[in-house]
Amino acid sequence: MNFEFNKKNIVLIIVLILIVIIGLMLHDYRNQDITGKNNDKIVLVKDYSRFFTVSNAGNKYINYLQKEDKEKLFLLLSESYISVNNITKDNILDKLTLLKPGNYTFEARMMYQEYLTSDIIRYYIKGDLSLEIMDEYQRPSDYYLIIQMDEEKNIFDVTPYDGKIFMEE
């Protein structure tokens, strides 16, 4: 097999090199998009698995709030929220906005993520909080949470939130 450097072969080599370079650039862009590890931005969560996991953490908080479980709520709230609001295990129910009696469901509708470090991610969640009354759900109300996850330690904490980031849209 004899290879000659004529115009046709040179053009073919250049096209092949360009395809490889474009492929590598697209691969890097796609991987960056999937991980979202852009430390200076708050980006929409597109990963369904992550969305579902964080939404379940929000459900856990709503469940403990509904049951008025002081111990578990205290463990679940973020340390900064506890210290800023001077929350103790004795006054936690006075400091939190409690839910009216009933059976509630929380469903996340929109979620943003912000990488604080390579392992700690803060999620801003907008969801529907629905109250079930006689096998029917009332019109859902908007409910906002911030959930911070430490992926290395596999732990999370919750901060009640006013939804400011969603109102800026």
Residues whose CB falls within 8 Å of the CB of residue 98, separated by 6 or more in sequence, listed in order = 65, 68
Q: How many CB atoms lie within 10 A of CB 69?
A: 15
Q: Which amino acid is at 149?
A: M
Q: Considering only 28-32, 122-126, 142-146, which range has the smallest mean pLDDT?
A: 28-32
What is the sign, positive or negative, of the torsion defined by CA atoms of 158, 163, 166, 168?
Answer: negative
Share of the chain above pLDDT 70, in %: 86
What's the predicted TM-score (pTM) here?
Answer: 0.71
Q: Report which of residues 60 and 28 the model is more confident about.
A: 60
Neighbours of 121 (CB within 10 A): 21
CB-count exposure of residue 55 (10 Å: 0-12, 13-18, 19+): buried
Least confident of 74-78, 108-112, 147-151, 161-165: 161-165
- Give the model confidence (pLDDT) of 25-37 as tens digits: 776 554 444 344 4
> Residue 149: which of 68, 47, 63 has the closest Cα?
47
DSSP β-ladder status, 42-44 and 103-115: antiparallel
The string of pLDDT tens digits covering residues 81-102 is 999 999 999 999 998 988 888 8
CA 128, 129, 133, 135 torsion-angle sign: positive
Does 41 or 29 have the greater pLDDT score?
41
**What pLDDT was estimated at residue 33?**
42
